[in-house]
Amino acid sequence: MNYSHPSTELLFTTVPIQAQNDRGNLSYGTGFIVSIQADDKNSIPVLITNDHVINDAKNIYVEFFKADSGGTNPITNDKVRVEIASSYFSSYRDNRLDVAFVPIAPILKTLSEKNVRVFYKSIDKKLVYSKDKEEKLAAIEEITFIGYPYGLKETLHNLPIVRRGITATPIWPYDKTTFIIDAGVFPGSSGSPVFIYNQGTYSDGLNTVVGTRLVFLGMVKISMQDNNSKQFIGLGEAVKASTIFTFIEEKLSASL
C-alpha cells in the first residue's frame, strides 16, 4: 500500500465512533482529526464529530490505527480501542452547529506511556479555502467524503468507506454555515470529512488545469430523509470547514 499517496493519507484522517447510551444501545458515527496551530512551532490535534453522534452517550469508543516501530506507517490489522468519557466533550460542543470535539494530546500521551504508538493524519487549516477562493468555486463541484456508514469498513485493512458525489447546493456564500451534497449519505456517515479531491486535471471555471487539487470543504452533518416516507434520499447536509475551524479555535482560546 502506498501510504504516502495523498488519497491514501486521507483515509487515515478518520476514525470510527461507537456511542453507547445508558440502556446499552450502540449507535455509529465517524470522526476525524484536524490540526489547530497553537504557535509557530506547535499544533493541537483535535478529534471532531457531530454533537448528535455523542449527545446521549454514556460511553464513547474510538479506534486508532497502531503505528509501526518507526512511527511512519500504520499496522492496519492492529487497532487500539479507546474509551472517551462523554464529559470530556462538555466544554467543546454546540448542538446548534451540531459540532463536538476533544483535544486528543492527553489520549495520545496516555497511550504512549503504555508503549502504544498511534498512526493518524490530520487535516490542516491550509486545506480550507479563503473567502476569495471559495467564491470562485463552481456551483457544481465533484466531492469526496470518507467515513463509516452503518459502521461499515473495508475488512482486510480496516479502512473507511470512500464515497463520491457532487455539491447539491453551492458552497458560497461564505457566511453560510452549511451546504448540501448529493453523494449517497447514510447513517454512520455523520462526522465524515468532505473534500474536493481532483487527481490529474480539474477545471478552474475557465481552463483545464493539470495537477491535483485538494480542498477541505466540511463535515457531514445529517443524512436527509423524505418527509413522508422517512426514507433516506442520498442527500446530506454538511457543516462548512470555515465554520468548523472558527468554532474550534474560539473554544480552545476560551479554555486556555
pLDDT (tens digit, 9 = 90+) per residue, 170-190? 999 888 999 999 998 988 899
- For 37-77, the pLDDT digits (tens) are 888 888 999 999 999 999 989 899 999 999 998 888 999 88
**pLDDT cut 90: percent of the chain above it:** 71
User: Residue 78's pLDDT band (boundaries 50, 70, 90)?
Assistant: confident
Is the CATH code 2.40.10.10 the one for domain 128-240?
yes
DSSP string, 8-24: HHHHTTEEEEEEE-TT-
- Reduced to 3 states (helix: H, G, I; strand: E, B; else coil), residue 245 is helix
> What digits encode the pLDDT tens for the residues 108-159?
999 999 999 999 999 999 999 999 999 999 999 999 999 999 889 998 889 9
pTM of the shown model: 0.94
Residue 102: how many other CB atoms lie within 10 Å: 24
Query: How many other C-beta atoms are found inside a 10 Å radius of the C-beta of residue 180?
Result: 16
Residue range(s) in the chain whose domain bears CATH number 2.40.10.10: 6-124+246-255, 128-240
User: What superfamily would CATH give domain 6-124+246-255?
Assistant: Trypsin-like serine proteases (2.40.10.10)
Strands 74-85 and 59-67: antiparallel
Q: How far apart are CA 102 and CA 86, in angstroms?
A: 10
